[in-house]
């Protein structure tokens, strides 16, 4: 199949293609598959079929046609009588190109003379910001714009204007979370770590206050529903655990 494609141009479509015409320009749904010097047939109801050739691929949807074997491009009769006609490009042998034509095509002439080593689109145009390479993953297109990967656990931290982000990892049903090393001291604060600070017996523990970041700032210890001790928790300016102070009631 590869050898066959190198020796011939396959059908551009399985049937006639609807066109619109405006002097030099023929508009088609897609110019992909067409080649300069390729023979085409233009037809319209009540009009004779015109045997022409592609002179130039003007854009992804427009062609310039002309008489076979000449440099004539403008076929004015197309605009008048074939405006809503059809175009057929059957399978055919490729046009032979001389080495004089091939070498300029494979050289990048500016800014240096070298064999071209970069990708181009179907029409030989280099990929640029204005002509990006199409990317398709699975059943949809992907377009990546500006991505902010500086996750923060609270607004305006570490920089003014930062908005708190969150990341969810899992299959939508079961998820897990991770804690960074700089946050371990704060989140390791629990009953076990505070137990050694409480010098009275208790049978009930309740977190009674949080700060704006959702961090624990007060814990009450009770015995038989009576409060016997209160632990006050403070954090430094970066939000890390700093101190636990116990007051007995």
Q: Check residue 58 and give its pLDDT.
A: 87
Q: Check residue 2 and give its pLDDT.
A: 43
**Rounded Cα distance, 80 and 42, in Å:** 13
Higher per-residue pLDDT: 100 or 91: 91
* Number of independent structural domains in the chain: 2
Higher per-residue pLDDT: 232 or 71: 232
Of 62, 93, 124, the last residue of a domain is: 93
Strand 136-137 with 39-44, pairing: unpaired
For residue 5, whether the previous peptide bond is cis, meaning omega lies within 30 degrees of 0, is no
**Which residues have CB under 8 Å from 132's CB, separation 6+?**
none
Of 93, 114, 135, the last residue of a domain is: 93
Phi, psi of 231 (to 5 degrees): -105, 120
Q: How confident is the model at residue 1 (pLDDT cuts 50, 70, 90)?
A: very low
Distance of CA 83 to the CA centre of its chain: 38
Task: Please write the tens of the pLDDT for every residue from 138-166.
Answer: 776 667 777 666 667 778 877 888 887 77
Three-state DSSP class for residue 24? coil
- When pLDDT is averaged across residues 187-216 and rounded to a whole number, the result is 78
Q: Is 195 part of any domain?
A: yes
Q: Check residue 241 and give its pLDDT.
A: 79
The percentage of residues in the chain with a pLDDT greater than 90, rounded to a whole number, is 6
- When pLDDT is averaged across residues 93-114 and rounded to a whole number, the result is 69
Least reliable range by pLDDT among 21-25, 31-35, 58-62, 226-230: 21-25
- When pLDDT is averaged across residues 5-28 and rounded to a whole number, the result is 79
Q: Check residue 182 and give its pLDDT.
A: 47
Q: Check residue 36 and give its pLDDT.
A: 86
The full length of the chain comes to 249
Q: Is 104 part of any domain?
A: no
**pTM of the predicted model as reported, rounded to 2 decimal places:** 0.46
Q: Is 28 part of any domain?
A: yes
Highest mean pLDDT among 98-102, 146-150, 190-194, 245-249: 245-249
Produce one character per residue of 126-156: b if its CB has 16 or more CB atoms within 10 Å, e if not: eeeeeeeeeeeeeeeeeeeeeeeeeeebeee
Instruction: Give the CATH number of the domain where residue 63 resides.
Output: 2.40.10
Q: Check residue 117 and give its pLDDT.
A: 67
Q: Is 141 part of any domain?
A: no
pLDDT at 213 over 70: yes
Q: Is 206 part of any domain?
A: yes
Q: Check residue 181 and give its pLDDT.
A: 47
Q: How confident is the model at residue 95 (pLDDT cuts 50, 70, 90)?
A: confident
Q: Check residue 90 and give its pLDDT.
A: 86
Domain range holding 88? Answer: 2-93
Q: How confident is the model at residue 187 (pLDDT cuts 50, 70, 90)?
A: very low
Of 67, 93, 119, the last residue of a domain is: 93
**Rounded Cα distance, 52 and 88, in Å:** 10
Q: Is 217 part of any domain?
A: yes
- In the structure encoding, which two tokens stand for residue 238, read together? 């970066």
Structure-token match 């854009």, residue found: 59
In terms of Cβ atoms closer than 10 Å to its own Cβ (0-12, 13-18, 19+), residue 247 is: exposed
Q: Is 168 part of any domain?
A: no
Q: Check residue 74 and give its pLDDT.
A: 54
Q: Is 85 part of any domain?
A: yes
Note whether 38 and 54 are within 8 A (CB). yes
Least reliable range by pLDDT among 9-18, 76-85, 216-225, 228-237: 76-85
- In the structure encoding, which two tokens stand for residue 214, read together? 């959702």
């Amino acid at each position: 199949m590869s050898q066959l494609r190198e020796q011939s141009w396959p059908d551009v479509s399985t049937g006639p293609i609807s066109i619109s015409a405006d002097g030099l320009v023929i508009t088609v749904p897609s110019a992909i598959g067409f080649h300069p010097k390729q023979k085409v047939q233009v037809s319209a109801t009540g009009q004779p079929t015109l045997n022409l050739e592609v002179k130039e691929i003007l854009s992804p949807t427009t062609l310039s046609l002309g008489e076979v074997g000449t440099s004539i491009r403008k076929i004015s009769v197309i605009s008048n009588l074939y405006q809503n006609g059809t175009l057929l490009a059957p399978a055919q042998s490729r046009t032979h190109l001389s080495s004089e034509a091939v070498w300029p095509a494979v050289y990048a002439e500016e800014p240096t003379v070298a064999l071209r080593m970069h990708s181009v689109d179907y029409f030989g145009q280099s990929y640029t910001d204005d002509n990006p390479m199409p990317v398709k993953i699975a059943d949809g297109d992907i377009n990546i714009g500006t991505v902010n990967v500086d996750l923060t656990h609270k607004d305006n931290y570490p920089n003014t204007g930062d908005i708190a982000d969150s990341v969810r990892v899992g299959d939508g049903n079961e998820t897990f979370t991770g804690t960074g090393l700089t946050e371990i001291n704060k989140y390791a604060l629990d009953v076990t770590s505070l137990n050694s600070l409480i010098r009275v017996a208790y049978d009930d523990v309740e977190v009674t206050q949080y700060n704006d970041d959702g961090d624990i700032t007060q814990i009450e210890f009770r015995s038989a529903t009576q409060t016997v001790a209160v632990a006050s928790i403070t954090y430094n300016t970066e939000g890390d655990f700093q101190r636990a102070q116990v007051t007995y009631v």
